[in-house]
Structure 1
């Protein structure tokens, strides 16, 4: 099946297909930057055991990136938030609690 079939599906949905040259890492700088960030902040730090575990880790990272992680280009707001972030909390007055986000492997997998 050629790429023309995929292109026709995208065109039917009103999506413009942009062709990038092969082996040109700077052709899609936004995607390349995101992949590099995911690898550096997440995948290079966690041993991935199988495909299902990979999808679980990526799902948790994506939720963190879109809902909690501050982005400089958006005034320190995550992509899913439009309001201005809350003021900085004095850590001397608040107890910091760690929360496990990516859970261990389930033996039933």
Structure 2
């Protein structure tokens, strides 16, 4: 495994104590200068935000996409990240996206049309109102 420039932006890796992480996994990260931080024992909420994001990526994108190569994976993950942070409604934010506030309420629907934008190769669709 070759991390090259990707290892320069990673400060540390937080992981659980699962059996799927072997000593070889930790060795590769240590060789790249990335320290590994283990989650505490019996603290299921410690890694909850990451687990939630990974679950969303799997359900909404990866389960519906055939990945061709590493570059294709990086591209669709970038597209999904942009969609997730700028368009996808989040229940904890009252339907707003993290990087974009809710638009004002629309009272006259006849004055607007809906425009669809495809993301991640058409797997995800975003809908916006246009005048």
TM over 0.5: yes
- The answer to whether the 8 Å contact 1:69/1:78 transfers is yes
Residue 80 of structure 1, CA deviation: 1.1
Compute the RMSD of aligned alpha carbons: 3.2
Larger strand percent: 2
**1:101 aligned residue (113, 119, 130):** 119
- The answer to whether the 8 Å contact 1:67/1:80 transfers is yes
Report the equivalent of 1:6: 34
**1:51 aligned residue (70, 80, 86):** 70
Looking at structure 2, the residues matched to 40 and 91 of structure 1 have their Cα atoms a distance apart, in angstroms, of 34
Report the equivalent of 1:40: 59
Report the equivalent of 1:80: 99
SS in 1 for 2:119: coil
Residue 34 of structure 1, CA deviation: 0.9
Looking at structure 1, the residues matched to 118 and 105 of structure 2 have their Cα atoms a distance apart, in angstroms, of 23
Could you tell me which runs of 5 or more consecutive residues in structure 1 were left unpaired when the two chains were aligned.
8-16, 105-109
- The answer to whether the 8 Å contact 1:25/1:32 transfers is no
Could you tell me which runs of 5 or more consecutive residues in structure 2 were left unpaired when the two chains were aligned.
1-26, 123-131
Q: Please, what TM-score do these two structures have when normalized by structure 1? A: 0.63
Residue 20 of structure 1, CA deviation: 1.1
Of structures 1 and 2, the one with the larger relative CO (CA 8 A, separation 6+) is: 2
Looking at structure 1, the residues matched to 108 and 64 of structure 2 have their Cα atoms a distance apart, in angstroms, of 26
SS in 2 for 1:86: coil
Q: Please, what TM-score do these two structures have when normalized by structure 2? A: 0.54
The alignment covers a number of residue pairs equal to: 92
